[in-house]
Amino acid sequence: MLGWMRRKWKSGVSLKVPLFLLLVFIGFVPMCFLGKVTDQSLRQTQIDYRVMEVQNQCLIISNKMSRTGYMSEETRDSAVDVELNTIADIFNGRIVVVNKDFKVIKDTFQLAEGRTHVAEEVIRCFQGESGSRLERDKHYFALAVPVFDNTEEKRIEGVLVATASTENLTGVAERVSEKAAFFQMMTWWVLVLAAAILVMLLVRPFVRLQKVLNQVAEGNLDQVIAENTYKETGQISMALQNTITKLKTVNQSRDEFVSNVSHELKTPITSIRVLADSLMGMEEVPVELYREFMTDISDEIDRESKIIDDLLSLVKMDKAVAELNIVQLDINGLVQQILKRLRPIARRRNVELIYESIREVTADVDEVKISLAINNLVENAVKYNVEDGWVRVTLDADHKFFYIKVADSGIGIPEEFQEKIFERFYRVDKARSRETGGTGLGLAITRKVILMHHGAVRVLSKEGEGSVFTVRIPLNYIS
Ligand code: ADP
C-alpha cells in the first residue's frame, strides 16, 4: 500500500485530488463546528428554560407558603401540599421542604419526611444565596428557594428544594440533533458533489492545455496555444508558444541547412561527372587534355573535402562548449603566424598585408579555433580584394577585451547582405566565391568560435571601397 502511494506521488498526483480535498475540508470543518455548537446550545437553552420554569413555580409556591404560614405545623394548609405535589408531578421532579432545623417537613416522594437534610444548597439558601445546581452527568438539577416568614423582616423560615430530571429534555435535544445529523449528512453529500463539479470546472483550462500539447507532441507544430482562462495558464501558453515558434525556426533552418549541404556537396560531384563523361566521350584524347581534365577533377575533389572539413568543424563546435581547449596565449605571436601563412596568397594577388600591433596582448583562448577564426577573416580580406590592394590587421586591447580589426581595400559588401554573410553557405557573389575556393562556411565558423569565447564580431563595409571586420574577445575566459 505504502509502496503504491509512494509510486503514485512520484508519478505525480492529479491536481484534482488536493483541490477536491481542500474544498471538502473548507466546507466540512465549519459545518461540523456549527453542528456541535448548535447541538450544545440547544441542550443548554432547554435546561435553562426548565430551571427558570421550575424556579418560577417554586417562587410562587414559596410566596404562598409564606402567606399561609406553611412552616408552622398549626397553620399548615393542606391545599399547599396538594399544589406542591402537582408542581412536582408537572416537571417530573421532587420537592422537599426543609425547616430552620434542617428537618424535612414535606417530601413529595414521602421518603424523607422527618429526616434531616443538610445539603449544600440548603445551607447556602439559609445564608441568603438562592441558586441552582446542575448535575450534568447524573442528568438532574437541584434548586433551592427560601420560604420567608410573614413578617416585615422577611426572615428565612425554611427552604424549598426542587430536584428534577433533565433526561426527558436531553431526549428532545437528541431528537433534534438526530434530525440535524441527517440534514448534515445530506449537506455533506451536496458538498462533495459541488466540490467535484467545481474541481472539474477549475481544472478544465489545464485539461484543454494538455490536449493541445498532446497534439503538439504528435508533431502538429501549427497549433495555436492560447489558454487564457487563468493568468497562470496564459503565461504557460505564452511560454509554450514561444518554445514552439523557436522549435519551428530550428526545424526550418535545419531543413534549409540540409538542403544547402546537399546542394553544396552535389556541385563538385556534378562537375567531376561532367569532366569524366566528356573525357570518356572523346576518342583518342591527347595526354595534355587528360592531364588538364584530371587536374580539374582533383580540384573539385579538394573542394568537396574542404566543404566536408568545414562542415565537420561547424558541427563539432555546435555541440562542444566544453571542448574548448583554453590556454593563455600571446595573441601577437598568433596573428603574426597567421599572416605569415597567408602572405604567399596575398603576394599572388599583389595584396599588401600590413600588421599593426598597438600593445602586447595575452589572453585565454582556444589556440586552434581562434586562429581558424582570424585566418578566415584575413583570408577573406585577401580573397575579396582588388589587384594591388591592401589588408591591414590591427591588434589592440583594454583592461577587459582584446580587439582585432581586419580592414581591406576590397570589393566591399552591400549593406543588405552584411548580416547575412555570417549564415552558413551564404555568399554574396557565388561565382566569385567558387572561383576563390570558398565554401560559404568560413564566416559562420568565425562567428561561432568568437561566440564560444563570449566575444562579438561586427562588420562595416561599403561596396567598392572595402570592409572592416572588428572582433572583440574577453582577455579572461569565464565559462
Ligand atoms: P566563403 O567561403 O564564400 O568566403 P565566408 O563565409 O567566408 O564564405 O564568406 C561569406 C561571404 O561573405 C563571401 O562569399 C563573400 O561574398 C562575403 N565576404 C566575406 N568577407 C568579405 C570581405 N572581406 N570583403 C567582401 N566580401 C566578403
Whole-angstrom Cα distance, residue 4 to residue 370? Answer: 56
- Ligand 1 binding pocket mutation candidate from 349, 377, 380 (most atoms within 8 A of CB): 380
What the block records as the C-alpha cell of 71 is 412552616
- CA pseudo-torsion sign 251, 253, 254, 260: positive
**What is the pLDDT, as a whole number, of residue 170?**
64
Whole-angstrom Cα distance, residue 152 to residue 146? Answer: 15
50 closest CA partner among 114, 140, 177, 175: 140
**What is the pLDDT, as a whole number, of residue 315?**
83
In 218-230, where does DSSP find H-type helix? none
Q: For atom 16 of ligand 1, which residue has the closest CA?
A: 428
Q: How far is the CA of 210 from the centre of ligand 1 (A)?
A: 47
**What is the pLDDT, as a whole number, of residue 128?**
83
**pLDDT per residue over 313-351, tens digit each?**
888 887 755 578 899 999 999 999 999 999 999 999 899
**What is the pLDDT, as a whole number, of residue 345?**
92
**What is the pLDDT, as a whole number, of residue 131?**
67
Ligand 1 pocket (Cβ < 6 Å) reads 376, 380-381, 384, 408, 410-413, 421, 426-429, 433, 438-444, 467
**What is the pLDDT, as a whole number, of residue 1?**
56
- Give the position, in ligand 1's atom list, of the atom nearest the Cα of 438: 2
**What is the pLDDT, as a whole number, of residue 393?**
97
Q: Are 412 and 461 in contact (CB under 8 A)?
A: yes
Q: How far is the CA of 478 from the centre of ligand 1 (A)?
A: 30
**pLDDT per residue over 133-183, tens digit each?**
766 666 788 888 899 888 778 888 899 899 888 777 666 667 777 888 888
**What is the pLDDT, as a whole number, of residue 461?**
96
- Residues of the chain under the 50 pLDDT cut: none
Q: In what helix (H) or strand (E) does residue 94 lie, and over which residues does it extend?
A: strand 93-99
The amino acid that residue 268 corresponds to is: P
**What is the pLDDT, as a whole number, of residue 252?**
87
The amino acid that residue 53 corresponds to is: E
